[in-house]
Amino acid sequence: MASGMTVAVVGATGAAGQATLRILEERKFPVRELRVFASERSVGKTVPFRGEPVRVQKIEPGAFKGVQIAFCSAGSVQSKAYAPMLVQAGAVVIDKSSAFRMDPNVPLVVPEINAHAARNHQGILACPNCTTIVTVMPLKPLHDAGRLRRVIAVSYQSVSGAGVNGIAELREQTLAWARGETIKPRHFPYPIAFNLIPAIDRFGPDGYTAEEMKLVNETRKILELPGLLISPTTVRVPVFTCHSIAVTAETERKITPAQARELFERFSGLKVWDDPTQERYPMPVEVEGQDDCFVGRIREDLSSPTGLNFWVVGDQLRKGAATNAVQIAELLLG
Ligand code: A2P
């Protein structure tokens, strides 16, 4: 182990894949050999790692031989195809897609919250949806202190959650708008520049989107609270990389804003930016590039005696994706 591991990144040319490479470097993950994979279109292109170009390889029989840890962020269809091949080759897979998250045999891990779950893996561990991660981080200390009863969450999700195409589309549409040109949507169903899209992913028969149901089901699994009442609304906003969530959390025992501030401050991975007298609250432009999630606007819910309102912001590509995935890998090393 001292000399490092053979690590694969599948989807290495994508937004989360590139972030994974940066986080592996930053956290000095013991990588002895790095293999990077993407679609056939990218075979032969290079991605930088530790100052060197690494060539994208073709996914073909034998390509995963010797891989010990694999990070997959190429989408759920690809994960369903490649994860079993990687496990067969002897690798442990940390999967960023939704492919295995609700599989009872697959741990769904946020290391600050349920590191214990990672011990029971059978070759695949899942990283939760980015909005779920940012939302569940402050919910955990509230639950431990006062037992959660009901959560209302409204998300303001950045375009990085839709990958490199989402990021490119916001940039292109903003430039088109500045030039006075008509904005033509390509990746999103409607213009995203100077707009809000109150539906992410497909609708279910009950009027909730798949993204909203991920937030419900994954939060319940991570917190081990199958009956937790959660009311979700997820919205795509013209922000590049951070997700923000307005949360109302109702607990059995009342938690005052002062107590909540203290609970959040003590919880690893959370920081409190909350001072109305100084106009201090977290915003995407300030949180971008950081691994912690930032909480502010902490106040009583005026409509419920045990309700608390707050606002939490996290970098979607870091804690919402790559940082959480690399933290899971670090648990495996430990
Ligand atoms: P490519 O760049 O060759 O399309 P994002 O989430 O930012 O859109 O990135 C998706 C990632 O998944 C990219 O690295 C993309 O590679 C990769 N990808 C897409 N389709 C496949 C596939 N069939 N096999 C492997 N990787 C894929």
Average pLDDT over residues 276-283: 98
Pair (160, 292) in one structural domain: yes
Residues 167 and 63 in one domain: no
CA–CA separation, 160 and 191 (whole Å): 15
284 in the same domain as 146: yes
Whether residue 97 sits in one domain with residue 41: yes
* 294 membership: H or E segment, kind and range: strand 293-300
The chain-wide mean pLDDT, for the chain, equals 97
Spatial CB neighbours of 168, under 8 Å, sequence gap ≥ 6: 187
Query: Which residue among 121, 143, 243, 293 is the active-site one?
Result: 243
Verify that 167 and 312 share a domain, yes or no.
yes
Q: Which pair of structure tokens corresponds to residue 315?
A: 């970098």
**What pLDDT was estimated at residue 248?**
98
Does 57 share its domain with 156? no
165 and 290, same domain (yes or no): yes
Structure tokens at 141: 């200390």
Percent of the chain with pLDDT over 90: 98
Evaluate if residue 281 carries a pLDDT over 90.
Answer: yes
> So what's the pLDDT on residue 17?
98
Which range of residues forms the domain containing residue 226? 132-316
**326 and 196 share a domain?**
no
How far is C-alpha 229 from the chain's CA centre? Answer: 22
**pLDDT for 282 beyond 70:** yes
Among residues 72, 121, 127, 130, the one annotated as catalytic is 130
Total of domains in the chain: 2
pLDDT band for position 1 (50/70/90)?
very low
Instruction: Identify the bridge partners of residue 55 per DSSP, sorted by sequence position.
Output: 46
179 lines ligand 1 (CB under 6 A): no
3-57 pLDDT, tens digit each: 799 999 999 999 999 999 999 999 999 999 999 999 999 999 999 999 999 999 9
- CB 163 near ligand 1, within 6 Å: yes
Q: What is the CATH number of the domain that holds 170?
A: 3.30.360.10
pLDDT value of position 3: 78
Whether 154 and 264 map to the same domain: the answer is yes
Using the predicted structure, report yes or no on whether residue 221 has a pLDDT greater than 80: yes
* Triad 268, 283, 297: Cα angle to 5°: 70
**Domain of residue 122, CATH code:** 3.40.50.720
What pLDDT digit, counting tens, does each position of 290-314 carry? 999 999 999 999 999 999 999 999 9
**Which 3 state secondary structure label does DSSP give 32?**
strand
Exposed/middle/buried for residue 235 (C-beta within 10 Å: 0-12, 13-18, 19+)? middle
SS3 169: helix
pLDDT value, residue 2:
44
Question: What does the alpha-carbon distance between residue 148 and residue 188 come to, in Å, rounded to a whole number?
Answer: 35
Q: Are residues 329 and 312 in the same domain?
A: no
The DSSP letter of residue 127 is: P
Task: Tell whether 329 and 296 lie within a shared domain.
Answer: no
- Give residue 334's pLDDT band: very low, low, confident or very high (50, 70, 90): confident
65 burial (CB, 10 Å; 0-12 / 13-18 / 19+) is exposed
Pair of tokens at residue 209: 């989107």
Phi-psi region of 297 (alpha: psi -120 to 50; beta: other; left: phi over 0): left
> How close is the Cα of 12 to the center of ligand 1, in Å?
7
The answer on 312 and 173 residing in a single domain is yes
Determine if ligand 1 sits within 6 Å of the CB of residue 17: yes
- Residues 129-179 have pLDDT tens digits of 999 999 999 999 999 999 999 999 999 999 999 999 999 999 999 999 999
Q: Say whether pLDDT at 325 is over 90.
A: yes
